[in-house]
Amino acid sequence: MHLLQRMKAWRELRRLEPLAASRPCPETFCALGRLYLDLGLYDKAVDLAEAGVEQFSRSIELRGLLGDARQGQLAIRVEALRAELTRSPNPAVFAALADAHAESEDFDALRELCRGWRAQSPDDAGSWLALGQAHLAIFCRCFTANDGHDALECLSRAVDLAPDAPTPRRLLGEHLYRIGAVSDALCHLHVLRELTPDDEDLAQLLGYVSELPRDSGDVDALLRAVERRGSWIHPGSVEERRHEACPVAAAQACLSALVARDGVIKATLIRGSKAAVSGVIAGGRDPFLKLVRASAKAAHGFARRLGMGRAAKTTLEGEFGRVCICVYGDALAAAQVRSGADVAGVLEALQDLVLDAAGEEVAAS
Amino acid sequence: MNTIQAALRGLCEHSEVGGAAVVTPDGLVAASELVEGLAADVVAGLASYLMVSADRSLGEGHYGACERLTIEAERGKVVLVALADSYLVVLLNALTSGQGPNAAIDAVAARLRGAARLS
C-alpha cells in the first residue's frame, strides 16, 4: 500500500471506528476489520473479529475476517520464529515454527523446515512427528492413500526414535485403527497404556478399539480402501462417533425445515462430491446441483479477481424465481425459491447450514 | 454526455454505490463510472463471463435466463442486471446492508432498457 492509499485508509478508519461502536453490525465490523488488515493491524483485526463473532455468531463474513486476521498474526509469528531460528537453531524453536507452518497450512515450508531440523538433530523425533501430523492433516481432508502412507511412515519413525514418547505413539495408534488396521493399532495402544496408566481417555479408547473387528494386516490395501470410500473405516473421538452414527441427519432435518418454508422449492447442502438434498429435486444428477456448483465457483472467481475477497452469498434471479447460494469453507448450501419469498430469511438459514456443515461430514443421500 | 453515462453517474451519486458500468456479453465496455484502481475492461470481461456462464448453467437445467445476479463478498457487493443486449454492473461498498440501493438500480436498469429501445 503506497503513501496516498495509507492516508486514505487512515481517514476511512477514523470514520469507521466510531460507526462500528455506534452501529454494531456485521457489515460495519467487516469493513473496519478489512481496513485493519490492509494496514497490517492484525491484533486489532483479531480483537474486532472476535467481538463481532461473539455478537453475530452466525455471520460467515465475520468468521472469514477472523480467519484472515489470525492468518495475518500467524505470518508475523512465522517471521519472528524464522529470525530466532537463524540466531539460535534449537529444537524448541524448530517445533514452534513447525506448529506455525502447520497452522497456516504451509506444508511446503514445513517439509523444508523438517529437512533442516533432521540435518541439525538427526536423533530428534520432533521433525518426524511434525511431518507426520502434517501428512495426517492432509490425509484427513482428502483421504488419498499416499498421504496416509506418508503419515504412517513419519509417525513410525518418530516412535522408533522416541519409543517412550506418548504423542507419536498415540497418533500412530489412532491413525492405524481408524484406517482399519486394528491389530497393529492395539499393539501401540497397549504399549501406550503401560507408559501412561492413569490416562482414562486412553483406557476408554483401548476398550473401544479392542471390540472392533480384526483386519487382514495389509495396511496399504486398507489405505486404498479408505481412499475409495472417502472416509475413515472407524470413527475417532466419542463426539465424532456420535456424528458418524447419523451423518446427514442434522443437515437433512435443516434442509427439510427450509423446504417447508413458504416459497422454497428445493434446497441442498454440498460438500466436495457429496450432497444432501430436499424438495423437488431428482437426486444427485439434478441440474440444480451443477448450477449451484458452477455459479458458486464463477462468483468466487469474479470476487477474487476484483479484489473483493471470498464471495459468501450469491443470488440469481429470473423467471424461475431465485437461486440463493451460501458458501463457507468447503461447504455450500443453496435453495431455489419463488419470487416474493423471504430471501433474507432463506440466506440466513443457508448460512446456518454451511456453518454447521463446516465441522461435520455430509453423506450422500 | 449520453443517456447511459448520465444514468450511471446518477447511480454513482448514491452513497453505497462504488461504481457502475454497462458492458456487452462479449466483454466490451459501453459506458463506465468506476473508481480509480478498477479497470473498466477487466470489470467488463469478468462480468460478461459471469453472466454468460450463469445463463449457460441455467439453460442446461431449463431454468431460463438470469435477469439479475447479486454477489455479497468480503469487501463489497456486486449487482449485475441483464438489459436488452448488455449488462448493468453495479459495485456496492461493504457497508451496504439488506436491500441497499436496489430501487435506484432498478430505476436505472429500466431507464437503460428504455434508452436501448429508443436507439
For chain A, give the secondary structure using H, E and C. Answer: CCHHHHHHHHHHHHHHHHHHHHCCCHHHHHHHHHHHHHCCCHHHHHHHHHHHHHHCCCCHHHHHHHHHHHHHHHHHHHHHHHHHHHHCCCHHHHHHHHHHHHHCCCHHHHHHHHHHHHHHCCCCCHHHHHHHHHHHHHHHHHCCHHHHHHHHHHHHHHHHHCCCCHHHHHHHHHHHHHCCCHHHHHHHHHHHHHHCCCCHHHHHHHHHHHCCCCCCCCHHHHHHHHHHHCCCCCCCCHHHHHHHHCCCHHHHHHHHHHHCCCCEEEEEEEECCEEEEEECCCHHHCHHHHHHHHHHHHHHHHHHHCCCCCEEEEEEEECCEEEEEEEECCEEEEEEECCCCCHHHHHHHHHHHHHHHCCCCCCCC
> Is A325's pLDDT higher than 70?
yes
Which tops the pLDDT comparison, B115 or A43?
Answer: A43
What is the per-residue pLDDT for A250? 64
Residue carrying C-alpha cell 504412517: A152
| Cell output for B66 | 438470469
Share of chain A above pLDDT 70, in %: 93
**Interchain pair A295, B65: CB under 8 A:** no
Residue A314: which of B71, B75, B98 has the nearest Cβ?
B71
Q: CA-based angle A32:A37:A38, to the nearest 5?
A: 95
What is the per-residue pLDDT for B119? 47
> Is B113's pLDDT higher than 60?
yes
Strand partners, A275: A270
Strand partners, A257: none
What is the per-residue pLDDT for A245? 44
> Is A91's pLDDT higher than 60?
yes
Which tops the pLDDT comparison, A55 or B116?
Answer: A55
Q: Which residue of A has its CA nearest to B98?
A: A344
Residues of chain A contacting B38 with CB distance shorter than 8 Å? 306
Residues of chain B contacting A29 with CB distance shorter than 8 Å? none
Q: Which residue of B has its CA nearest to A324?
A: B70
CA–CA gap between residue A207 and residue A35 (Å, rounded): 52
CB B48 within 8 A of CB B27: yes
Domains in chain B with CATH codes: 3-118 (3.30.450.30)
What is the per-residue pLDDT for A364? 36
> Is A12's pLDDT higher than 90?
no
| Cell output for A153 | 511412515
A18 touches chain B (CB under 8 A): no
CA–CA gap between residue A302 and residue A149 (Å, rounded): 38
CA–CA gap between residue A236 and residue A240 (Å, rounded): 6
CA–CA gap between residue A315 and residue A326 (Å, rounded): 9
**Interchain pair A312, B76: CB under 8 A:** no
Q: What amino acid is encoded at B29 in this protein?
A: V
What is the per-residue pLDDT for A246? 43
**Interchain pair B73, A308: CB under 8 A:** yes
In this prediction, residue A315 has a pLDDT band, given cuts at 50, 70 and 90, of very high
Share of chain B above pLDDT 70, in %: 91
What is the per-residue pLDDT for A320? 92
For range A49-57, the mean pLDDT: 89
Give the list of residues 6+ apart from residue B47 with CB closer than 8 angstroms, or none.
Answer: A302, B21, B23, B78, B80, B87, B89
CA–CA gap between residue A155 and residue A166 (Å, rounded): 12
pLDDT in tens, A276-303: 888 877 766 788 998 999 999 999 999 9
Instruction: Give the ipTM of the model, two decimals please.
Output: 0.91
Most B CBs within 10 A among A34, A62, A295, A328, hence the mutation to make, goes to A295
Residues of chain B contacting A315 with CB distance shorter than 8 Å? 68-70
For range A23-33, the mean pLDDT: 88
Q: Which residue of B has its CA nearest to A316?
A: B69
**Interchain pair A290, B60: CB under 8 A:** yes
pLDDT in tens, A150-208: 999 999 999 999 999 999 999 999 999 999 999 999 999 999 999 999 888 899 889 98
Closest CA of chain A from B12, distance in Å: 18
What is the per-residue pLDDT for A7? 84
Instruction: State pTM to two decimals.
Output: 0.71
Closest CA of chain B from A199, distance in Å: 45
For range B63-89, the mean pLDDT: 92
What is the per-residue pLDDT for B98? 57
pLDDT in tens, A73-83: 999 999 999 99
Q: Is the dihedral of CA A93, A98, A101, A103 positive or negative?
A: negative
A126-142 and A91-103 helices, crossing angle to 10°? 10
Q: Which residue of B has its CA nearest to A323?
A: B69
pLDDT in tens, A246-267: 444 568 888 888 999 999 999 9
Residues of chain A contacting B69 with CB distance shorter than 8 Å? 299, 314-317
Count of pairs with CB atoms under 8 A, one residue in A, one in B: 116
Closest CA of chain A from B63, distance in Å: 6
**Interchain pair A318, B62: CB under 8 A:** no
Q: Is the dihedral of CA A349, A353, A354, A355 positive or negative?
A: positive
What is the per-residue pLDDT for B70? 94
Residues of chain A contacting B49 with CB distance shorter than 8 Å? 298, 302
Q: What amino acid is encoded at A117 in this protein?
A: W
pLDDT in tens, A304-313: 988 888 899 9
In this prediction, residue A21 has a pLDDT band, given cuts at 50, 70 and 90, of confident
In this prediction, residue A46 has a pLDDT band, given cuts at 50, 70 and 90, of very high
Strand B87-92 versus strand B17-23 pairing type: antiparallel
Residues of chain A contacting B45 with CB distance shorter than 8 Å? none
Helix (H) or strand (E) segment spanning residue B68: strand B66-73
Q: Which residue of B has its CA nearest to A34?
A: B75
Residue A309: which of B63, B75, B98 has the nearest Cβ?
B75
> Is A243's pLDDT higher than 80?
no
Closest CA of chain B from A149, distance in Å: 38
**Interchain pair B50, A308: CB under 8 A:** no
Give the list of residues 6+ apart from residue A255 with CB closer than 8 angstroms, or none.
Answer: A267, A268, A269, A276, A277, A278, A279, A353
For range A225-232, the mean pLDDT: 82
Residues of chain A contacting B54 with CB distance shorter than 8 Å? 295, 298, 316
Sheet of B17-23: strands edge to edge?
A274-279, A264-271, A331-337, A321-328, A311-318, B66-73, B76-82, B87-92, B17-23, B29-34
pLDDT in tens, B15-58: 888 899 999 999 999 999 887 777 889 999 999 999 999 999 99
**Interchain pair A302, B78: CB under 8 A:** yes
A139 touches chain B (CB under 8 A): no
Q: What is the mean pLDDT of chain B?
A: 87
CA–CA gap between residue A88 and residue A94 (Å, rounded): 10
CA–CA gap between residue A125 and residue A166 (Å, rounded): 12
Residue carrying C-alpha cell 483485526: A45
**Interchain pair A288, B95: CB under 8 A:** no
